[in-house]
Amino acid sequence: MTGSAEGVDIDAEPTAAERRAVVAKRVESGSADLTEITQLAAAAGYDVVGELTQTRTEDAAFMFGKGKVAELRDLVRRTEANAVIVDNDVGPYQTFNIGGELPEGVEVIDRFTLILEIFGQRANTRKAQLQVELAELRYELPRAEAKASLAKRDERPGFMGLGEYDESVERDIKRQISEIRDELESIAAKEEARREQRRDSGFDLVALAGYTNAGKSTLMRRLAAEIDVDENAERHPDLDTTAESQDMLFTTLGTTTRRAEMEKRDVLLTDTVGFIADLPHWLVESFESTLDSVYRADLVLLVVDASESVEAMREKLVTSHDTLYERNEAPIVTVFNKVDRLAPGELADKRAALSGVAPDPVAVSAKTGAGVAELRDRVESELPEWERERLVLPLSDDAMSLVSWIHDHGHVEEETYADDQVALDFEAKPSIVARARSKAAGLAPAEST
């Protein structure tokens, strides 16, 4: 994936079998964990054929120590890898230096370039494509500025192999960023109008949030009705007909919205792109339009993989809360998913250990369905309260149309007919109750026969 002044072009890629990568990571202390970067590499279509880690302070020239880079070169040769994926934020200077030590043709990819590559592969809607392009441009902008600084300082446009610098490149990137933001704002305005239209129709909006591979899409399929949300001509391309359930990162890049099965209420459940560790602020901001479906929901289900260690769960919960509470005002219900993978007694231990960050989680297995009924009950109890109302209407065609409308937009507790009247006891959102009262006030009295 390469950036250009006119946008982002995707070069011809080798086949999956040819995309052989060594993953590498440097940490300041402790042991480096390569689990997530290996999953990300697999999601991008790489076959991970080698691993390398180092614990030391960052080397300004190579990120790793010079001896470790030599070790990396030998590993690449032995495994015949054609890419090195570094699970760090590698600067352009460091990227050039590492690449200069590797066999010719071996690409050096840092963590964020890999993530953007995955996003580019999964962007199937206009909004998703715009957000990916915005992220890529924001990633490229400081690098373009660095090229300018280095070129001017050394009076050599091609200094360090960074390519010839043209000031128009920087201006073009900034122009494209501005244009993309304007288009995304237009899309966001339309989606906000659609959300309000759904609320006016009696729907509560529930969003699924959480890290990738927490099982959000599987849980959505478990909760959702068989009938997809039908938007007819107004259907937005981000509303896919299904939410995939694959053991793969970023299966859901856009948003998927479906009607969920609740006892009383009509709920639209939205799944969106999963969180991932150590994302920079500029990348999160680039996907702000997609995250609006979480920020502007009536309730958020924060899904956590309960089969992970307590330490991993705590870290992800804290990071998720930081992301959500920054802009979200809706209640958050924590869902411990994949409890079918836990040994007896393990769930109770994790509940106790994580009570500070998840005081009252709902434990479920989206795979087996265990606990899903309890989750539905919890969703209904946490959603904004409904208002109770009793209407007595004259029997007429218009009155029966109103009765049908109330059934569609609320929950009717009792419906009785007597003396040319129909009495309706129901619960609904306050806005729906207000509209029902207004419609009832306009009904003509029943004609006597």
The answer to whether 365 is annotated as binding is yes
Q: Which amino acid is at 212?
A: T
Q: Of 132, 73, 57, whose CA–CA distance to 108 is shortest?
A: 73
What DSSP string describes 182-227?
HHHHHHHHHHHHHHHHHHHTT-EEEEEEEBTTSSHHHHHHHHEEEE
The answer to whether 273 is annotated as binding is yes
The answer to whether 25 is annotated as binding is no
The answer to whether 113 is annotated as binding is no
188 in Cβ contact with 172 (< 8 Å): no
The answer to whether 289 is annotated as binding is no
> Could you give the dihedral angle defined by the CA atoms of residues 44, 48, 52 and 55, in that order, rounded to the nearest 10 degrees?
40
The answer to whether 214 is annotated as binding is yes
The answer to whether 340 is annotated as binding is yes
The answer to whether 200 is annotated as binding is no
In order of 13, 101, 297, the CA distances from 16 in angstroms are 9, 25, 38
The answer to whether 87 is annotated as binding is no
Report the C-alpha gap between 377 and 374 in whole angstroms: 5
Q: Which amino acid is at 232?
A: N
The answer to whether 158 is annotated as binding is no
362 in Cβ contact with 371 (< 8 Å): yes
The answer to whether 434 is annotated as binding is no
Q: Which helix (H) or strand (E) holds 256?
A: strand 256-260
The answer to whether 252 is annotated as binding is yes
Report the C-alpha gap between 424 and 434 in whole angstroms: 15
Q: Which tokens sit at 155? A: 């009076």
Q: Of 62, 60, 64, whose CA–CA distance to 26 is shortest?
A: 64
The answer to whether 334 is annotated as binding is no
The answer to whether 201 is annotated as binding is no
Give the DSSP letter of residue 395: S
The answer to whether 210 is annotated as binding is yes
The answer to whether 212 is annotated as binding is yes
Task: Enumerate the known binding-site residues for GTP.
Answer: 210-217, 271-274, 337-340, 365-367
Task: Enumerate the known binding-site residues.
Answer: 210-217, 252, 271-274, 337-340, 365-367
Task: Enumerate the known binding-site residues for Mg(2+).
Answer: 217, 252
